[in-house]
Structure 1
Amino acid sequence: MMFWEGVAVCAAGVAAGAINAVVGSGSLITFPTLVAVGVDPVVANVSNNIGLVPGSFTAAYGYREELKGQRERLLRLAPASCLGSLIGGILLLFLDRGVFQVVVPVLIALACVLVVIQPKLNGWLAARREHPHPHGGIALWLGVFAAGVYGGYFGAAQGVLLIGLLGSFLDDGIQRVNAAKNVLSLVVNATAAVLFLFIAPIDWWAVLAVALGATAGGFLGARIGRRIPAPVLRGIIVAVGIVAIIKLVYG
């Protein structure tokens, strides 16, 4: 990787880290950038995943205030993200990518709808549940597992999927939901990264460039995201989801 190509990838990492902290879908910036500078698509996907791990950590750390009181919830959901990510990472290396290209846009669109209707949906569900589960129950666990599979496989817009799921099944504010999303995204990315270290080809210069940018971007995104009013944040999430759908469908 040439110097200016590395600078471009690092800059893309800053943007991706910031977007991941606020919504998700940062891979829609870094992955195409890596491919554009000549990295093989599979190697780019793997290297991008590893490089975004530090940014996921800084984003989660930046939301530490909103994470207070969510320890038990995240301990219940993290294994679902971890297991799903392992399966998704294995599928990346052995499954035709075209299989997911058909399903993923539909999942993202559904997640966007869930984000929009979440306040009313929460009220509707609460009125029909005699004893609401504080951690979302088995339905949320399975949803987080499925999002982990997708995140380990490709990852772009996994944040939109997670926010849609968490916001629908948890009776909590969107900023706390976003904080939980950042932790679960970190689990997914870190798990896949460990797997890839053993079984996948890696471009370490690409990893370094993405990691440097994403680390700074994660801090920046957390500082900005925590100050965004809930209705505005919902609008941003839906807008990013729509962009992700267009990007995945039309390339």
Structure 2
Amino acid sequence: MTWLEQLAVFGAGIAAGGINTVVGSGTLITFPVLLAIGYPPVTANVSNTIGLVPGSLSGAIGYRRELSGQRERLIKLGTASVLGGITGAILLLVLPADAFKAIVPVLIIAALVLVVAQPALARRIKERRGTDQVPAHGGPILFAAIFGTGVYGGYFGAAQGVLLLGLMGVFLNEDMQRINAVKNVLAMLVNGVSAILFMILADVAWEVVALIAVGSIIGGQLGAKVGRRLPPNVLRGVIVVVGTIAVVRLLMS
């Protein structure tokens, strides 16, 4: 890579780390940059996933206060994410590179609908179950949905955070910022287990990994500082805007 290409990848890593912490969809910034530089799609995807792991960890640390009291939830939903991430990473290595391309915009649009309708849907679910009967971890339906999101995240991961926020916002009786904190940990777990498999089984562009990793760590801290200050309705608005941009970019690619 030339120094200009290195600077572009580093800057994309900062932007991706920040937006992943606040919402998700950082892959839609770094992945096209790597393709434009000339990396093959699978190598770009694999290297990008590994590079973004430190940024996910940085964002999760930035939200550590909101994670307080959520240990059991993190263990149960984290298990679903890890299993899904392993499955998705294996699929990436054995399936065609564009196998999920057609369904990704549909998944993101569905997630955006969930985010917008979350207050009303959550209220109706609580009314049906009763507030005391809402499982702290969201129940088996959310577990299965988080597993499915992990599969997608391990395979490609663009807007994985939007999907997680939409699903947990409906099934968890929880503040939006605390849900966002859980989202950061789950995304980190998916990227982490995928990265381990990729490092063993796939071709990795380590220079790309290093540039994205350093950039995403910086971006993760910046994103945490910004995201934690956003009121719930503003955070939902950011999610919708970012998700809509993601859908448009995917449809045009």
- Choose from 211, 214, 234 the match for 1:212: 214
Measure the CA separation in 2 of the matches of 1:234 and 1:122: 14
User: Which residue of structure 2 lines up, in the alignment, with residue 225 of structure 1?
Assistant: 227
Q: Number of matched residues? A: 251
In structure 1, the gaps of 5 or more residues are: none
How far apart are 1:249 and its partner, in Å? 1.4
Tell me by how many angstroms 1:96 deviates: 2.1
Whole-angstrom CA distance in 1 between matches of 2:90 and 2:102: 19
Name the counterpart of 2:122.
122
Instruction: Kindly state the Cα deviation for residue 201 of structure 1 after the two structures are TM-superposed.
Output: 0.5
Q: Report if the CA contact (8 A) 1:50-1:193 is conserved.
A: yes
1:236 corresponds, among 235, 238, 243, to: 238
Question: How far apart, in 1, do the equivalents of 2:59 and 2:43 lie?
Answer: 25
Q: Which residue of the partner structure matches residue 197 of structure 2?
A: 195
Q: Aligned pair 1:133/2:141, yes or no?
A: no
Structure 2: unaligned runs, 5 residues or longer? none
Give 1:218 shift: 0.2
Higher mean displacement: 36-45 or 14-23: 36-45
* 2:82 paired residue number: 82
Q: Does 1:10 align with 2:14?
A: no
Q: Any conservation in 2 of the 1:115–1:234 contact (CA below 8 Å)?
A: yes
Aligned to 2:106: 106
Q: CA deviation at 1:229?
A: 1.1
Match of 2:164 among 134, 140, 162: 162
User: Partners in 2 of 1:176 and 1:26 — Cα distance?
Assistant: 20
Partner of 1:227, secondary structure, is coil
- Report percent identity of matched pairs: 55
Cα offsets for 1:28-47 (capped at 9, x unmatched): 00001111112111101000
Cα distance in 1 for partners of 2:122, 2:147 equals 21
Deviations 1:9-39 (A, max 9, x none): 0000000000000000000000011111121
Q: 2:190 is matched by which residue type in structure 1?
A: V
Equivalent residues of 1:101, 1:249 under 8 A apart: no
Q: Give the distance between the partners of 2:106 and 2:240, measured in 1 at CA.
A: 14
What's the offset of the Cα at 1:68? 0.5
After superposition, residues 35-74 of structure 1 pair within 5 angstroms as: 35-74=35-74
Q: How far apart, in 2, do the equivalents of 1:55 and 1:249 lie?
A: 27
Counterpart-to-counterpart distance in 2, 1:146 and 1:197: 23
Match 1:185 to one of 175, 184, 187: 187
The answer to whether the aligner puts 1:146 opposite 2:148 as a matched pair is yes
CA contact (8 A) 1:108 1:157 kept: yes
CA drift of 1:248 comes to 1.2
Whole-angstrom CA distance in 2 between matches of 1:98 and 1:219? 32
Helix, strand or coil at the partner of 2:102: helix
**1:27 and 2:27 are equivalent in the alignment:** yes
Superposed CA RMSD in Å reads: 0.8
- Alpha-carbon offset, residue 241 of structure 1: 0.8
Q: Return the TM-score normalized by structure 1.
A: 0.98
How far 1:99 sits from its partner (Å)? 3.0
Q: C-alpha offsets along residues 139-160 of structure 1, whole Å, 9 cap, x if unaligned?
A: 0100100000000000110000
